[in-house]
Structure 1
Amino acid sequence: MKPQSMLFTIYGEYVRHYGSEIWIGSLTKLLGEFGLSEPAVRAAISRMLRQGWLVSRKVGNRSYYSMSERGKKRLEEAAARIYKVDTDSWDGKWCIVSYNIPEERRALRDQLRQELGWMGFGMLTTSTWISPNDLGQRVKELTESYGIADHVEIFYAEHLGWSDPRQLVKKCWNIEEINEKYKSFIDTYRDKYEELASKLRQNKDVPDSYCFVEKTVLVHEYRKFLFIDPDLPLDLLPELWLGKEADQLFQNYYQLLNPGAVRFFESAYEVAPS
């Protein structure tokens, strides 16, 4: 697991619920549970600072780090999708984003594509992306922040022809591949969940450090689906869709691990001075 990705998970799962700021010594102790050295943690923090995800504060000889506004927004978006509730039925409309960004701004164009994929858009053509979810406001905010509003058009409209909705889905997303990844997740974590549930029923001791590591890895692995699962409404999913089963397994295992994981985090966390 990459240190930077693990830091996102630590901040999203723990730090943002404890004032959003943490001492680097606490981070080093927590990430040490995953075999990460202090230099590796410091290097990852430096990268996140340069990329604008973190901000730092010095108190005496101690350094404290918190998520930037950009980072907080990303964590909130991720949490909303990981711990989602069932959405309303689909209204039959598509959010469409079309862009024509000059070659000299290619880096921004590539970044826009990456962000659209993160939001759950699928590529219909090279410069046209679609989603069955109403994400227009988020795209407007994104394009304004990148300074490319003059090169982007956003629509929320009905599709009149010719592919039916499920055909459009197949053109834009590899649903079979996503389903296979969900199956792999279920195969990996079903036995772990049942084993832990059995231990707890028998009142066997389960170390808090184990719960912390296992829960953090669980969230880290499940978070990967944010990059590949477009969060399609039920009307557009195949009959055999494993996403629902995987989500239920995730929620059940998470609830078993959470109390011990939080206790371990609190044992390493020190309240930042005001």
Structure 2
Amino acid sequence: MSDSSTRPSSLINTVYGAFVRHLGGWISIADLIVLMAELDVDGPAVRSAISRLKKRGILEPERQGATGYRLSPAVHAIFDEGDRRIFGSLEPANLSDGWVMAVFSVPESERAHRYQLRTRLTWLGFGNTAAGVWLAPGRLLEDARNTLERLGLSDYVHLFTADYAAFSDLRTAVSSWWDFPAIEAQYEAFTGTYAPIAARLAEQSAIDPTEAFRAYVPMLTQWRRLPYLDPGLPAELLPGDWNAVEARRVFQQLHELLAEPSLRHVRKVTGSEAP
């Protein structure tokens, strides 16, 4: 499991975010091991991943008749933000909505914060236009504000809303501010893996909940990185053959097919079946 999207900790994050969070936020370690076994992750790997997530402050131990783990209250806002990015509008931004610009200057004595800012702005979907100047579609303003405040980085950054006025061709400039080939490679990998699965499942009259779970969790784990790497730039600024369109279609199709039966499966395993 060398791909970060299939690491046990990544899959467990998805299980908590997509299911456990909506079933009270707690799951026994025994039930989690059962679910992860269906994703080809064995018990020792689950326990090791849980230990790492606990050290990172994502999970907290809690006993409810059995040993288990609950999502830390500190990460609820992060998961809510993830929902907005992952399941929100899959359409490109409108050029008329303008831009959010982040400008920062960090003293050399605090250069670790400079690296953290660059990393976090990249993860939020910002493109680097010049030293200390980063740009993203205007609809990412609140996500940027909330994230920078949560990480204690807001003292180093000024956020502006902006419109592009002159002097370059914006479409050409944008292609140098974002790494389009790298983003397209991620979309190509996603579509190549999951388009055949979507086509096969669409032909089935009913989808077995266990099969749905086995397909949905790895798919969602791979997908959830993409809305962060791709800021959803306006369509008129993108390459004509931008492959995000097909990847989004595949994701939406699989989400609609698999999310509900996957949840039914988790309810059954955890004994929290709906009345």
Indicate the TM-score class for this superposition, using the shorter chain for normalisation: 0.7 to 0.9
Cα distance, 1:88–1:147 mapped onto 2, change above 3 Å = closer
Identify which of 62, 67, 70 aligns with 2:71.
67
Distance verdict in 2 for CA 1:139–1:194, change over 3 Å: closer
1:173 aligns to what? 178
Distance across 2 between alignment mates of 1:108 and 1:69: 25
- Displacement of 1:11 in angstroms is 1.2
> Relative to structure 1, is the Cα distance of residues 150 and 185 closer, same or farther in structure 2, using a 3 angstrom cutoff?
closer
Q: Given that residues 26 and 270 in structure 1 are in contact (C-alpha distance below 8 angstroms), is that contact kept between their aligned partners in structure 2?
A: no
Q: Are residues 83 and 146 of structure 1, via their aligned partners in 2, closer, same or farther at CA, if it must alter by over 3 Å?
A: closer
The correspondence of residues 1-274 of structure 1 with structure 2, limited to 5 A, is 1-60=6-65, 62-85=66-89, 86=91, 89-91=94-96, 93-198=98-203, 200-201=204-205, 207-270=208-271
Summarize the Cα distance change of 1:123–1:213 in structure 2 as closer, same or farther, 3 Å threshold: same
SS in 2 for 1:135: helix
2:225 counterpart SS class: helix
Query: Pairwise CA RMSD of aligned residues?
Result: 2.3
Name which of structure 1's ranges 86-95 and 189-198 shifts more when overlaid on structure 2: 86-95
Shift of 1:92: 5.5
Aligned partner of residue 210 in structure 2, secondary structure: helix
1:88 is displaced (CA, Å) by 6.3
What is the distance in 2 between the residues matched to 1:264 and 1:67?
20
Contact (CA 8 Å) 1:165, 1:236: kept in 2 or not? Answer: yes
Partners of 1:145 and 1:242 lie apart in 2 by: 33
User: TM-score, normalising length from structure 2?
Assistant: 0.85
Distance in 2 of aligned mates of 1:144 and 1:6:
27
Q: CA deviation at 1:235?
A: 3.2
SS in 2 for 1:163: coil
Other structure's SS at 1:56 match: strand
How far the C-alpha of 1:50 sits from its partner, in A, is: 1.9
Distance 1:257 1:92 in 2: 33
- Give the structure-1-normalised TM-score: 0.86
**Would the aligned equivalents of 1:78 and 1:226 in 2 still touch at CA under 8 Å?**
no
1:270 Cα deviation after fit: 4.0
Q: 3-state SS of the aligned residue for 1:241? A: coil
C-alpha distance in 2 between matches for 1:145 and 1:79: 17
Deviations 1:127-146 (A, max 9, x none): 22110224334433333334
What 5-or-longer segments of structure 2 have no aligned partner?
Answer: 1-5
Q: Contact between 2:93 and 2:233, CA under 8 Å: does it hold in 1?
A: no
Decide whether the 8 Å contact of 1:98 with 1:127 is kept in 2: yes
Could you tell me which amino acid in structure 1 is paired with residue 22 of structure 2?
H
For 1:215 and 1:225, locate their aligned partners in 2 and report how far apart those are by CA, in whole Å: 16
Runs of 4+ in 1 over 4 A off after TM superposition: none
| C-alpha contact (below 8 Å) 1:23/1:65 kept by paired residues | yes
Counterpart amino acid of residue 11 in structure 1:
Y
